[in-house]
Chain A
């Protein structure tokens, strides 16, 4: 099949995220690109997927642009409105979340995520949002998917502050910490990464169309494992792009 579909890096990341979700799964999401990816999966191959927001919202159908999870626009037409203890407690901590979808300021070679501070934690630093439910989602989801921009300052050997643990220091350190589940994918605007089964170090899985291996590596603060043959990421289909632009995110409310 020839593919001359035009798409943005945002749309490619959303499509790559959607592809990771299976029908019938329960997905914990924060606002932004993960929401688009999850809606896209629900509209295409995963109609029976359940989407939950930490504050107590399941399967909403928003029709207006929202500024965040605290905006009632993202609660519109939900199937349930409840609480943290219900969502993050009985669903997530109870072991029912298949996929946790995270974003971050910074990630590292072992998939740890920082949303807390930039700078020197013991000296001068700038403090940001912190965890919210992100640490909980990273600790208890069966698998987690991280979506992050591909920039050297965001992809470091070790994050300045572990807000949400990935494979911690690699090897069996995550298991030993008593955490459930595993980091599964890191999706950037240049590539998709998984993790080496032994060392738990980030491993390149595919490179997005139009991007080179050199470009991927030059914009990282560490060197991931690079297998001999790295395929090209499957591009979005015309229908996927149409769904995002016309039905899921017509106002660009989740973009950026």
Chain B
């Protein structure tokens, strides 16, 4: 079954208010083209989740699409803070359910496994837990180990409406390879009702069948496949292209103030009609080719 659609068509299937799990980790494999299209389509009040807060969530928050963020903390690595996320937390305009990396991963995993809850050692004794109990009273509870009688912290499973995942390779059915570390992506996909795969490259299913051990996302979980090169720009995609340091710096600087962020959105999100125009605006083919990953290094 061929599920290939345009990015715009895939984004149209997401109603305002949905819970969307996105695949970014700081400045790598972030759903950047997706985030821009969500903002252009005026989708609002999303719940966005990911283990480590990344540039895709920051752009979605900066673009006014997010009501609630579930994450484990995050940054743009050495490029700076997630300014839109942090500003939203500081001024109270963003509801943040802050976790740790593993507690987010466990919540996705419990959702994927169909478990009613999952015990975890993390968070106890911390102010992360105290704050989470205030912001999301139904996210955690205490349970007694039926075998030892010990008390454990239990987390409620996460079951996002849709996972949106940047991958290197997929076939038209959505069978997808994530090359390199997968952080929380596999659990995000398996916990979600459905998945939108955004692939750098589409290959025939025959290619997938020849190396099926590489498949991380099975096609039956995928509702739509989008073929879009450089769709994680300016973040990196391992073995495809490096991060665009100059553009991340430009974003990090702009995002420091609401005015700067508005100007960024006007130029790079609202100022282009689609991803292809965005790619021209950030430097076009010649610039993008300079980011192409070295075959041995992977960056």
Contacts and interface: CB of A to CB of B under 8 A. Distances in A.
Given A71-B243, A116-B98, A82 B121 contact: no
A68, A85, A163, A177 pick with most chain B CB within 10 angstroms: A85
Contact of B181 (A75, A116, A134): A75
B102 A116 contact: no
Given A70-B26, A81-B181, A132-B73, A139 B122 contact: yes
Given A127-B89, A134-B100, A81 B180 contact: yes
A201 interface: no
B127 interface: yes
Contacts of A132: 52, 72-74, 100-101
A180 B150 CA distance: 13
Interface stretch (A40-48, A88-96, A186-194, A213-221): A88-96
Interface in A28-62: 54-57
Interface stretch (B75-83, B221-229, B253-261, B262-270): B75-83
A146 to B, nearest CB: 15
Contacts of B152: 178
Interface string A65-81: 00111111101100001
Given A88-B101, A88-B102, A161-B127, A72 B122 contact: no
Contacts of A168: 125
Interface of B: 25-28, 51-54, 71-75, 77-79, 81, 86, 89-90, 98-106, 109, 120-128, 131, 150-153, 180-187, 235-236, 238, 242-243, 245, 293, 297-299
B124 A139 contact: yes
B123 to A, nearest CB: 6
28 contacts: A67-B79, A71-B243, A71-B299, A72-B242, A72-B299, A76-B297, A76-B298, A81-B182, A83-B182, A83-B186, A84-B51, A88-B102, A89-B102, A89-B109, A93-B102, A116-B128, A127-B89, A130-B72, A130-B74, A131-B72, A131-B73, A133-B100, A139-B122, A139-B123, A139-B124, A140-B122, A165-B126, A178-B153
Contacts of B74: 129-130, 132
Contacts of A88: 101-102, 105
A76 to B, nearest CB: 6
A70 B238 CA distance: 10
A130 B127 contact: no
Nearest to A71: B77
A125 interface: yes
B128 A131 contact: yes
Q: By DSSP majority rule, is chain A's interface helix, strand, loop, or mixed?
A: loop
Contacts of B123: 135, 139
Given A132-B74, A162-B127, 9 more contacts: A72-B236, A127-B89, A129-B81, A131-B101, A136-B122, A139-B125, A140-B122, A165-B125, A173-B125
